[in-house]
Amino acid sequence: MTALLEVEDLRVAYGKIEAVKGISFSVEAGEVVTLIGTNGAGKTTTLRTLSGLLKPVGGQIKFNGKSLKKTPAHDIVSLGLAHSPEGRHIFPRMTIEDNLRLGAFLRSDKAGIEKDIQRAYDLFPILGERRKQAAGTLSGGEQQMLAMGRALMSQPKLLMLDEPSMGLSPIMMQKIMATIAELKSQGMTILLIEQNAQAALSLADHGHVMEIGKIVLSGTGQNLLHDESVRKAYLGED
């Protein structure tokens, strides 16, 4: 069976500096796959390239069997690949509800949109309670919930999450991770970048460790979680 996402020998450069140096991995439908690694490893660059915000200098990206090589970013969203970016990038002066509606900008099914807004409120009750508030009044964790809810509004086949717990309190981080686990249980396919390697690998079916633009280790989430080198480098254990 063909994987939902296939990345083969992907290379991405900023000018003469190659940030991603020929990585290959795949994501099967219904899986959670995580990329872990230190800052500067190329993880965010990879996601930005998959969503069409950056153009690769080499390699192949196939989504649902279709090459994304010449596909613009808005068409990639319409194919079913949604990106919740690092830093959230919500619209602070707009209401929570209007931010969610922006996630459905390619859709015309009004009843479906209303149903998915309610689904976002079911996932994140605090958003429903404050739906008419300006998004900028939310805490960092609540803004992350909104960014994830907005990404889900495009009805993605694959949801890409870039550092969803960054800068959050331990309690809020647990809430975000519990939501990702809930989405997984509902069958959502997720590609996750997460600074908390233990939380990410605990959730993931498969994981890939990136260092300086390359994948240096791959395995199941559980195998990587118990790998001695991973534990020393990313889990803070001696």
Q: What is the pTM of this model?
A: 0.92
Query: Do residues 68 and 173 share a domain?
Result: yes
Query: Do residues 4 and 47 share a domain?
Result: yes
pLDDT in tens, 203-216: 999 999 999 999 99
Q: Containing domain of residue 175, as a range?
A: 1-80+159-238
Q: Examine the pLDDT at 226 and tell me if it is beyond 70.
A: yes
Query: Do residues 172 and 119 share a domain?
Result: no
Q: Examine the pLDDT at 195 and tell me if it is beyond 80.
A: yes
- Return the structure tokens found at 189: 């396919």
Buried b (16+ CB within 10 A) or exposed e, 144-169: bbbbbbbbbbbebbbbbbbbbbbebe
**What CATH number does residue 10 fall under?**
3.40.50.300
Mapping DSSP to helix (H, G, I), strand (E, B) and coil, where does residue 66 land? Answer: strand
Domain count, the chain: 2
**Residue 158 gets which letter from DSSP?**
E
| DSSP E strand stretches across the chain | 5-14, 17-27, 32-36, 58-63, 66-67, 81-84, 158-162, 189-193, 206-211, 214-220
pLDDT at res. 74: 86
pLDDT in tens, 15-46: 999 999 999 999 999 999 999 998 889 999 99
pLDDT at res. 1: 57
Buried b (16+ CB within 10 A) or exposed e, 59-73: bebbbbeeebeebee
pLDDT in tens, 91-145: 999 999 999 999 998 889 999 999 999 999 999 999 999 999 999 999 988 999 9
Confidence band of 172 (pLDDT split at 50, 70, 90): confident
Query: Do residues 61 and 111 share a domain?
Result: no
Picking from 105, 122, 155, the residue at the C-terminal end of a domain is: 155
Q: Which of 213, 97, 197 is nearest to 146 (CA)?
A: 97
Arithmetic mean of pLDDT, 187-203:
94
Compute CA distances 68 → 61, 81, 187, 193, 214, whole Å: 6, 11, 24, 21, 21
Please spell the DSSP secondary structure of 17-55, one letter per residue.
EEEEEEEEEEE-TT-EEEEE--TTSSHHHHHHHHTTSS-
Picking from 155, 174, 209, the residue at the C-terminal end of a domain is: 155
CA gap 216, 37 in Å, rounded: 10
pLDDT in tens, 57-78: 999 999 999 999 889 998 999 9
- Return the structure tokens found at 107: 């859709």
Query: Do residues 24 and 47 share a domain?
Result: yes
